[in-house]
Structure 1
Amino acid sequence: MAARRLPVLAQYRDDAVTRLLCAGAHLDEGFAREVDVELTEDRLRATGPSLGIDLVALARHARASVRRIDRRDRRLARLCAVGVWAAVPAGFYGLVTDLGALALAGAAALVLTYATAWALVRGAENEARTAALGVEHGAGRPGDLAPAIGAEMEARLLEQERANVVPYAAGAERTTPFVGSGSKIKEMVWQPIDVSRPADDPAGGGKLAVKPFDAVDLHGFVAREMEHIAGLKGLRARNRLYVKGDHVSYVGPDLLPDRLRRPRAQIPKQLVQAGVVQPGAGMRTYLSLERTGEGGRVIVSMHLRARLQHPSLTWEVAAYGIPPLQARFYRVHQLPLDGWERWWDLFRVATAATASALLGAPGRLVRRASARGERARALDRTRREIGRRHLRFDYGAVDSLRERVADWKQLGFSERTDSQDFLQRLQQGVLIATERFLKDHDVDTSSYDQAQQVINTHTYTFQGDVHSSNIGAHGTVNHAGQSQT
């Protein structure tokens, strides 16, 4: 059948969320500092996986924003010391002692100080907006629009994006080990499937011999075939070893080469495969299937673990979702691009902010230095306890940047329905892949057929944090005492 020719509609950029976050780093000082500390500062805890984000690009833009603000505040602090703390007492003294020239000089110095401070505030705001608009509307890659932050640091962030191990905080064991995946939609263990019975020989004459296999083979088959089976282009499938944070040292030097440094994000695949066949102490391997919606606005993930214990196979399944970004990250869309509107908006913002920016600069610099010093001292104390007392430290991540800046209130109708479609396709794809795998290994699938009828009753409601206590019979989800499928 010939393909129908139709016009191409405008599409979201694949890196739309990364661009919004990079722009947000230039427009939101608090967010920029949060990113700079988490991604680039020395620490012991692991960084949670931020799905769908170019971490190198975000770290570069956050560092550029922080440096610009610090540079502005250092200049403002010097102005405040010379132009305010000196000019105001001099002018006041001139008024009291009837020294008109001194009073006039003090007033002139104060006016000059304010004008210079206004220019600095306006210039910094203009640079921030130019950078934000450039990364949001520019044609180049976001990471190319900001200075590099160091080869070693960027290599670590690239490793983080391809992580095959996730240390999670020990406290998360009571809720979910899948830090970074967002809100829980559903958790379940599917109906057991008998995999011990051989299939009938199609040529007649009895039964076929079951081809031996293990859970690693099944995980690998599902990972390879899921994108094609489920019809989800761009599906990301990866086995990850999830390790309880205070059990990280048990994995060995491949994960924690130095007990006084953060754990690595990549380990040998044999260790990951070992967690598929036999879980360790506080460590299990899951096959993570992740699909992002248009422009990366929403992310759905399904974490699977094959429980293959002769004679039966079950799938442990957990579905999670991350909604769009918070409203504050769309501010870049409301900025005037050029002309009189941009000039006036910059004038208005600078005029409103100059006085507080000028007078508060010394205090801000002191507070930042104090916070950095406190973080460094706390880190040194912890390292001493680990080194001297052999403290079993919790290296696990608590959450991730991506889920921290998400907001379910921003979830739209199309994103909700797309996400439900993704999850249903993933469930059906796992079932089809499992059936094909069993048939390829000459296993009788009659038990699978019976289990599939029960499994297919499970549905997914992509509306936020739906806990397992709200899940009723046959996969229904209960809201405020009512049930829906």
Structure 2
Amino acid sequence: MRQVPNLPTYDKDATTRLLCSSVHLDDAFARYAHQELSGDRLTAPGLPLGVNLLALARHASRATGRTDLRDRRLAWLCAVWWLAVLSVVGGLVSGAPGVAEAAFAVLLLVLGCAWWLMRRAEAEARGDALAVRYSAARPQDLAPEVADEAERRLRGLRRPNMVPYTQGAERQNPFVGSGDKIKETVWQPIDISRPADAPGGGKATLVPFDAVDLHTYLARELGNLAGLEGLRAQNRLYVLGPQVFYLGDDVLPDRLRPPNSEIPPPLVKAGLLKPGAGMRTYLSLERVGEGGRVIVSMHLRARLQHPSLSWEVAAYCIPPLHARYYGADYIPRDGFERWWSLVRFATSHTWSGLTGAPGRIGRRNAERKRRARELEKARKEITKKHALYDYGTTDSLRERVASWDQLGHSERTDSQDFLHRLQQGVLIATERFLKDHNVDTSSFDQAQQVINTQTYNISGDITGPANIGNNGQISAAYGQGAQAPAAAGPTP
């Protein structure tokens, strides 16, 4: 092999590090991520898609905890401030200059304390953001653990083999959170009823197989056949949200909690051989680009009905992160610039931070109570009225934070290459599988000529169910979906 110098490359966990650093710098995003990953909920979480959700949940919890502590202290200082203002006015009106002077000194002291709190919190936030962005340690090791239930739920998302999707998504596709649809088609049927010619003459004996055998073969061999290192292949049962209840305790052990992401393999196989009502198994292929910037996925389903075989194919793409999540790359890291940047931040945000603290706390508490009431209402309907709840997810966090404006030429061509390689790999694997089972592939050769003319256009715009607003609010376009995250006031 030719020896050449090593060029700089993206870290494999670059996307995770960027998002973990962003929660320390962007309060709206921190509160959304904290609620989405660690908050109480009934709906299933979205797929990770190249993001270490456990690390992100830990950093979001740390960031929101820091901001909450700062605002509680600022709220107490705000109360002292207004008491001092009243004392100044009262002293001047009553002719007690000593009282007015003492109260004025308190005002200056309160401003000084507020300035110090703002600077300290911002310095800690920037320090944590830079640490997770550039440290050699794993991102999840740089923040404390969250609640045990949230930790367990997020660890279960490492290899999920079931994805509940909200009923509203049924009108489009069940692959919620996979990004923008690039192509959706059913390939031309292949005749699998004729045996191949035997080496010694005559016809060979057909080797029986089913869709599970075909899916298993592709999942095992496709990475090598397609020439895509790091390809993730897994059979997943996609279930319509309200139908989750009928899968039993293995999937939904507690009707008042989200369903499991990992279920017994026989259920996944059943969704391929005998699809249920709103329950079908797909072979999900995911290829994460350099540094997680682009994620290309292809969802396949073998339609095996004697005497023919066809493939249901859906391809999706998620572009790079939005520009707002690269804030850690522009923070002064040391020296006078760092010191002066913190001084300017604290000075310009002290007044809004001090006087706005009670309002921010009030809005967060109101949003928390509203969300708790909605969950309590839903749980009462489930337990008392035996309501059929939609446990399906609407999207994924990775899809929400993406922006087509950040898609460059390299990512676009890489994505097209990924999809063409996946398509070719599926065709090669299918042909080899059929030959191994002594099936005449002449019908396959004809279908392959048609399939190979298909192209993939990697472009679009994020017009999915929601985006993160300035106050961390999420507006969903369909279904019960994920619970709305906590509202967050403007970051002072």
Q: TM-score, normalized by length of structure 2?
A: 0.93
Shift of 1:50: 2.4
Which residue does 2:204 correspond to in 1? Answer: 208
Which residue does 1:480 correspond to in 2? Answer: none
Q: 1:162 aligns with which of 153, 159, 162?
A: 159
CA distance, structure 1, for counterparts of residue 258 and residue 206 of structure 2: 45
CA distance, structure 1, for counterparts of residue 206 and residue 455 of structure 2: 33
1:402-421 alignment to 2 at 5 Å? 402-421=398-417
Q: 1:358 aligns with which of 354, 358, 375?
A: 354
Tell me if structure 2 keeps the 8 A contact 1:199–1:208.
Answer: yes
Which residue does 1:191 correspond to in 2? Answer: 188
Which residue does 1:326 correspond to in 2? Answer: 322
1:251 paired to 2:250: no
Large movers: runs of 4+ above 6 Å: none
Amino acid at match of 2:355: L
Amino acid at match of 2:7: L
CA distance, structure 1, for counterparts of residue 390 and residue 148 of structure 2: 28
Which residue does 2:425 correspond to in 1? Answer: 429
Amino acid at match of 2:141: D
1:102-251 alignment to 2 at 5 Å? 102-204=99-201, 206-251=202-247
1:382-393 alignment to 2 at 5 Å? 382-393=378-389
CA distance, structure 2, for counterparts of residue 247 and residue 92 of structure 1: 66
Amino acid at match of 1:370: A
Shift of 1:377: 1.2
Structure 1 gap ranges (5+): 468-485
Which residue does 1:4 correspond to in 2? Answer: 2
Which residue does 2:38 correspond to in 1? Answer: 40
Which residue does 2:292 correspond to in 1? Answer: 296
SS in 1 for 2:309: strand
Tell me if structure 2 keeps the 8 A contact 1:321–1:464.
Answer: no
Q: 1:18 aligns with which of 10, 16, 30?
A: 16
Q: CA, structure 1 residues 133+312, in 2 after alignment: closer, same or farther (shift >3 Å)?
A: same
Shift of 1:331: 1.1
Shift of 1:150: 3.3
1:96 paired to 2:93: yes
CA distance, structure 2, for counterparts of residue 450 and residue 320 of structure 1: 26
Shift of 1:123: 0.3
Sequence identity percentage: 63
Structure 2 gap ranges (5+): 464-492
CA distance, structure 2, for counterparts of residue 95 and residue 152 of structure 1: 57
Shift of 1:388: 1.2
CA distance, structure 2, for counterparts of residue 445 and residue 58 of structure 1: 48
Tell me if structure 1 keeps the 8 A contact 2:403–2:461.
Answer: no
Amino acid at match of 1:337: R
| Deviation per residue, 1:236-257 (Å, 9 max, x gap) | 0000000001111122211111
Q: 1:399 aligns with which of 386, 389, 395?
A: 395
Q: CA, structure 1 residues 159+466, in 2 after alignment: closer, same or farther (shift >3 Å)?
A: closer
CA distance, structure 1, for counterparts of residue 460 and residue 155 of structure 2: 29
Amino acid at match of 2:131: G
Tell me if structure 2 keeps the 8 A contact 1:223–1:287.
Answer: yes
Shift of 1:466: 11
CA distance, structure 1, for counterparts of residue 119 and residue 143 of structure 2: 21
Amino acid at match of 2:154: L
Which residue does 1:276 correspond to in 2? Answer: 272
Which residue does 1:476 correspond to in 2? Answer: none
Tell me if structure 1 keeps the 8 A contact 2:38–2:147.
Answer: no
Q: 1:62 aligns with which of 57, 60, 63?
A: 60
Shift of 1:103: 1.3
Shift of 1:363: 1.5
CA distance, structure 1, for counterparts of residue 4 and residue 95 of structure 2: 83
Shift of 1:402: 0.5
CA distance, structure 1, for counterparts of residue 462 and residue 70 of structure 2: 45
Which residue does 2:468 correspond to in 1? Answer: none
1:307 paired to 2:303: yes
Which residue does 1:481 correspond to in 2? Answer: none
SS in 1 for 2:136: coil
Tell me if structure 1 keeps the 8 A contact 2:404–2:461.
Answer: no
Which residue does 2:343 correspond to in 1? Answer: 347
CA distance, structure 1, for counterparts of residue 281 and residue 37 of structure 2: 25
Q: CA, structure 1 residues 456+465, in 2 after alignment: closer, same or farther (shift >3 Å)?
A: farther
CA distance, structure 1, for counterparts of residue 158 and residue 47 of structure 2: 7
Shift of 1:190: 0.2
Tell me if structure 2 keeps the 8 A contact 1:184–1:465.
Answer: no
| Deviation per residue, 1:185-238 (Å, 9 max, x gap) | 01000010000100000122x100100000000000000001100000000000
Shift of 1:152: 3.5
Shift of 1:153: 2.2
- Relative contact order (alpha carbons < 8 A, sep ≥ 6): 1 or 2 greater? 2
Q: 1:370 aligns with which of 366, 383, 396?
A: 366
Shift of 1:465: 5.9
CA distance, structure 1, for counterparts of residue 299 and residue 102 of structure 2: 71
| Deviation per residue, 1:293-327 (Å, 9 max, x gap) | 10000000000000000000000000000000011
Q: Which sits farther off after the overlay, 387-396 or 281-290?
A: 387-396
CA distance, structure 2, for counterparts of residue 30 and residue 406 of structure 1: 16
SS in 1 for 2:157: helix
Which residue does 2:482 correspond to in 1? Answer: none
Amino acid at match of 2:209: F
CA RMSD of aligned residues (A): 1.1
SS in 2 for 1:389: coil
